[in-house]
Amino acid sequence: MSFLRRFADNRGAIIGLSVLIVIVIVALAAPILSPVDPWAMVGRPLQPPGSEFILGTDMLGRDVLAGIVHGARISLLIGFLSTLVAVLIGVTLGAFAGFFGGWVDGVLVRVVEFFQTIPSFLFAILLVAALTPGLSSVVVAIAVVTWPPIARLARSEFMSLRGREFVEAAVLSGVSRARIMTSEVLPNAISPLIVMGSLMVATAILTESALSFLGLGDPNRISWGYMIGAARTVFRQAWWLSVFPGLAIVVTVLSINLVGEGLNDALNPHLRGRIGLSR
């Protein structure tokens, strides 16, 4: 209850969580809230926001509101899936490096450093282009370029915990190393990993938007980045085509960051306002 109380005391976190819940509900209920096919031509091209179409229409007469509502599902899905894959990769490698140390740590640290020397967004572009643009390739590309920071964090947490008394007691009791890592060390290292994972979702959504803006997203699925990219040539004539999807991205990323800050304050009350992403 103390965690919930500390989280509830953070007004920004509560606002961010409320907004995020609304966005998730909109994404899940997209077919109900907007039964119109976001790819269907339902009106005159470049019709400004008005009573007929609240957010206007695009160059082909498609409803912008339908695109934003249905695009929320794709943007959130890619954000959460790619973060989940990145966390699994990063925590696994970081845990092995930090717990075992020695040559295992040396090899895995070199691997992490190799990935961190490559410009992440350029690497993501190359991966998507090599894998053929699509939902799965975007998820893989974002996960591959975002796992190193959480691997370093997991390594530092496991390295600091492996010498604690409860770990040594488990070793002396004959508990297997795999069980020690999963049932003894990981639960005590989970707090900062959760915080970083929540912030990685926002980064993943921004990366997906940038890739879709460049035409490297899934061509068969509408997303906020795709909408902005498709409208960049008519921005002066139809500002609403870029502004409204852009606002959706800003609000979503901001709400996720607020939730991440709230988790950090609630899980690490002695480090309030500070997120140790570089430890």
**Are the CB atoms for 13 and 261 separated by under 8 Å?**
yes
Each residue's pLDDT tens digit, 186-239: 988 888 899 899 889 999 999 999 999 888 888 888 999 999 988 988 888 899
| Secondary structure in 3-state letters for 101-170 | CHHHHHHHHHHHHHHHHCCHHHHHHHHHHHHCCCHHHHHHHHHHHHHHHHHHHHHHHHHHHCCCHHHHHH
pLDDT of residue 276 exceeding 50: no
Each residue's pLDDT tens digit, 237-252: 899 999 999 999 999 9
pLDDT of residue 182 exceeding 60: yes
Whole-angstrom Cα distance, residue 245 to residue 271?
35
pLDDT of residue 82 exceeding 70: yes
The answer to pTM > 0.95 is: no
- Mean pLDDT score, 93-120: 92
pLDDT of residue 115 exceeding 60: yes
Each residue's pLDDT tens digit, 123-178: 999 999 898 878 899 999 999 999 999 999 999 999 998 888 888 888 888 888 88
Encoding tokens for residue 54? 């609240």
What confidence category does residue 62 fall into, taking pLDDT thresholds of 50, 70 and 90? Answer: very high
State the pLDDT at residue 70: 94
Q: Which CATH architecture has domain 2-271?
A: Orthogonal Bundle (1.10)
Domain extents for the chain? Answer: 2-271
Q: Is 268 helix (H, G, I), strand (E, B) or coil?
A: coil
**Are the CB atoms for 133 and 218 separated by under 8 Å?**
yes
Each residue's pLDDT tens digit, 48-57: 999 889 999 9
What confidence category does residue 270 fall into, taking pLDDT thresholds of 50, 70 and 90? Answer: low
pLDDT of residue 273 exceeding 50: no
Q: Is 39 helix (H, G, I), strand (E, B) or coil?
A: coil
State the pLDDT at residue 144: 94
| Location of structure tokens 């970081």 | 94
